[in-house]
Structure 1
Amino acid sequence: MHKHKEETWALVDLVRKIVKDHQAPLETRMLRGEKLTRADFEPGCEAARMAGLWGLNLPPELGGVRLSMVDRLAITEENSKCLAPIRFGGEVLHAMLNLQGEQKARYLDPLLSGVKRYCFALTEPGGGSDPARAVLTHAKRDGGSWLINGSKTWISLFEDADGVLVFARTSKEKGANAISMFAVERGNPGLVARPVPMLGGFSTHQLTFDNCRVDDLAFIGAEGDGFKGAQQELSRVRFESGAMALGIAQRCYDMMVQHAKQRIVFEGPLSEKQAVQSMIVDSWIEIQQHRLTLYACAEKHDAGQDTRVEAGMVKMTCTEMVGRVIDRAIQIHGAAGCTYESPLAHWYDQLRLSRIYDGPTEVHKYRVLARSLLA
């Protein structure tokens, strides 16, 4: 980790202990073929809460600890080394932090306490890489309420959510400034959800809004500010995607080193073979390079600098890197790395998606980075 403070190391040690006590047994169950439920993750979440790890992005006045980006990424990196990581509670979209009165009581307070969870619905069938242009879902006033019509796709975390934060156009303008955010409760008769199975055992959902009626309290934030709120969330998620990839890469590296030392082939340990040594060294170098970059960018963020471009770069390079490391780890393990009794096979499936969601590699490279550098 890059110039970590003692406090950061203490946080990492704390997360490592919770993972060992609560999450590692869940990983074992997953490797036996069991399907885990939301309830299975509650003990680990509660242990984190009791340890003070609650509302990691929230200010103290709302019951959170508002960790720096460096600290959050260090926690994410350590947590991601387990196939069944801790699901931290008290996560709240930045745009919801200023809710007051009845809106605060209905939406923010249940989120802060962990009673409710909401997922995030921006992507539509017409395109996920250019969301502002592709948003066709619209909402219009109807008396004292709003009617939402449209469709969202590839929506993750819906299966465990109590509601969904949906982004819809509230005017006829074509730009991002016409997009607003609404909270729609699960069970609303105008919301129909269809599960879409994905690689790695994930289940995303396609959501259809058919005259989905919500009241004025469900309108979150100012009109036209919805996409701005979404962009704030995406930058944070992209940093954390990089840290998650780094944590998984480190675990895969540790596994390949251990296996190479123990596996005997042609009258000697696998670790003595030059091809294996090359794969291990290449993986170590890549992990160290990306760790230095990740935390240097996080420090820029904590210093108040605009790091939207860096967030895209970190997400792009780390998710590409972890794919290479996992592939080497499977190659070194041979057939043992290809079974779902090993976390390697699970991550091989899961991490393929990481190069697509929250912005595909090509979009970050040629749309975000190139446009920024050549402006």
Structure 2
Amino acid sequence: MYELKEETRALVDLVRRIVNDHQMRLESRKLRGEKLTSADYQPGREAARRAGLWGLSLPRELGGADLSLVDRLAIIEENRKCLTPIRFGGETLPDLLQLQGEQKTRYLDPFLSDATAICFALTESAGGSDPARNTLTRAARDGDGWIINGSKIWVSDFDDADRVFVFARETRERVASSVSMFAVEKNNPGLVARAFPMLGEYTTHQLTFDNCRVDEVARIGMEGTGFKAAQDALNATRFSNAAATIGIAQRCYDMMVQHAKQRNLFGSLLSDKQAIQSMVVDSWIEIQQNRLVMYSCAEKDDRGEDTRVEASMTKLTCTEMVGRVIDRAIQIHGGAGCTYESPLAHWYDSQRMSRIWVGPSEVLKYRVLARHLMREG
């Protein structure tokens, strides 16, 4: 089993206290059928910021916590044991942290002060798993600005965002080096949004850019640097997704053990049944194996090594694992696990998408990992 260092365990304990003080109450309300808003999450978010848990990866000179990847994943794992986790702020693309002059004043400073929220639009219906070739949205020069035309889909966090960072081609050439990143204000008249309700009560959006004009300052970085920025973000997100699924799986495991120890069936406890014991043991082994792999890969990242393959592997195995653990937990709970008065049913819905977001399992397995292994061989 992987053992966290004492300093990291202290951070985990801090997160656990904030979650217990603020977020578990929200979980109870959600399980009663209440609709929660962003304002409901604000007390927990503010408590986390007062405790120094803001901008977990952000440099200290910008007001962040500047934590290692191991520390960040441990925090995410603990936080996601709750159905209504803390919404940490201050996380963004590394490229945005390099902004200077007017771009810094317009885009970075308001975000760092928590005055504005942002989202990113990368995926297109032509094929989100291959954005280097399937980014068809175009940004064409027009005087002292740009005209953007195209469409993006499955855009998360748009409801709460003030602006969108969209990835678009500057040329017709369908290669990674033609993709740049542009900032578009949410109230731009050339931006039209359509909401898509999703599994797990999520909402994503399709964004249509119809002769959407932005000024010269709106292009972030040099021409053709957008794809690398997106890939860097995907790498970090894959690790974060892995940690989230381990936290959820651990909570499901704890619930199944507790239920098995309390539930009588045919004159004895469920925990005495060999079939139940097998499901519990299988879940425990899978969680521990994936936790060990994830943190070992994170240590490699903290040493400055390239972990693109490790991030893909970890995301793949963890998101596959959590579905099996949730399914076993529901099976042990029976009908009580199938009601939305239990977090198990909510996770059964929402975690189905984890095998698709930021790289479907099949793409990570055969496009990323298999190609890497063939090159290594």
Instruction: Using structure 1 for the length normalisation, give the TM-score.
Output: 0.99
Q: Secondary structure at the match of 2:19?
A: helix
Q: Are 2:351 and 1:346 equivalent residues in the alignment?
A: no
Q: Look up the match of 2:237.
A: 237
Deviation track 1:337-370 (CA, whole Å, cap 9, x = no partner) reads 0000000000000000000110000000001000
Conservation of the 8 A alpha-carbon contact between 1:68 and 1:302 = yes
What CA distance in whole angstroms lies between the structure 1 residues aligned with 2:161 and 2:343?
A: 26
What CA distance in whole angstroms lies between the structure 2 residues aligned with 1:291 and 1:92?
A: 25
Q: Look up the match of 1:126.
A: 126
Unaligned runs of 5+ in 1: none
Q: Secondary structure at the match of 2:136?
A: coil
Q: How does 1:58-207 map to 2 (within 5 A)?
A: 58-207=58-207
Give the superposition deviation at 1:42: 0.9
Q: Look up the match of 1:57.
A: 57
Give the superposition deviation at 1:131: 1.2
What CA distance in whole angstroms lies between the structure 1 residues aligned with 2:191 and 2:341?
A: 38
Deviation track 1:54-112 (CA, whole Å, cap 9, x = no partner) reads 11111111111211000000000000000000011111211101111111111101111
Report the AA paired with residue 109 of structure 2: D
Report the AA paired with residue 10 of structure 2: A
Give the superposition deviation at 1:144: 1.2
Change in 2 beyond 3 A, CA 1:10/1:348: same
What CA distance in whole angstroms lies between the structure 2 residues aligned with 1:310 and 1:191?
A: 37
Q: Look up the match of 1:275.
A: 275
Deviation track 1:245-283 (CA, whole Å, cap 9, x = no partner) reads 000000000000000011111111111111111100100
Q: Secondary structure at the match of 2:159?
A: helix
What CA distance in whole angstroms lies between the structure 2 residues aligned with 1:140 and 1:219?
A: 11
Report the AA paired with residue 353 of structure 1: M
Give the superposition deviation at 1:142: 1.0
Conservation of the 8 A alpha-carbon contact between 2:138 and 2:148 = yes
Conservation of the 8 A alpha-carbon contact between 2:134 and 2:174 = no
Conservation of the 8 A alpha-carbon contact between 1:195 and 1:203 = yes
Aligned residues: CA RMSD: 0.8
Conservation of the 8 A alpha-carbon contact between 2:135 and 2:174 = no
Give the superposition deviation at 1:172: 2.4
Give the superposition deviation at 1:288: 0.7
What CA distance in whole angstroms lies between the structure 1 residues aligned with 2:329 and 2:185?
A: 43
Report the AA paired with residue 124 of structure 2: E
My pick for the range that moved more, 229-238 or 163-172, is 163-172
Give the superposition deviation at 1:299: 0.4
What CA distance in whole angstroms lies between the structure 2 residues aligned with 1:250 and 1:319?
A: 13
Give the superposition deviation at 1:3: 3.9
Instruction: Using structure 2 for the length normalisation, give the TM-score.
Output: 0.98
Q: Look up the match of 2:327.
A: 327
Q: Secondary structure at the match of 2:44?
A: helix
Give the superposition deviation at 1:327: 0.2
Deviation track 1:148-170 (CA, whole Å, cap 9, x = no partner) reads 00000011111111111100001
What CA distance in whole angstroms lies between the structure 2 residues aligned with 1:355 and 1:373?
A: 21
Poorly superposed stretches of 4+, deviation over 4 Å = none
Q: Look up the match of 1:216.
A: 216
Q: Look up the match of 1:9.
A: 9
Q: Secondary structure at the match of 1:298?
A: helix
Q: Look up the match of 2:359.
A: 359
Conservation of the 8 A alpha-carbon contact between 1:92 and 1:112 = no
Report the AA paired with residue 201 of structure 2: G
Q: Secondary structure at the match of 2:252?
A: helix
What CA distance in whole angstroms lies between the structure 1 residues aligned with 2:218 and 2:33?
A: 40
Conservation of the 8 A alpha-carbon contact between 1:156 and 1:205 = yes
Q: Look up the match of 2:254.
A: 254
Report the AA paired with residue 127 of structure 1: G
Q: Look up the match of 1:32.
A: 32
Give the superposition deviation at 1:5: 1.6
Identical columns (%): 70
Q: Are 2:44 and 1:44 equivalent residues in the alignment?
A: yes
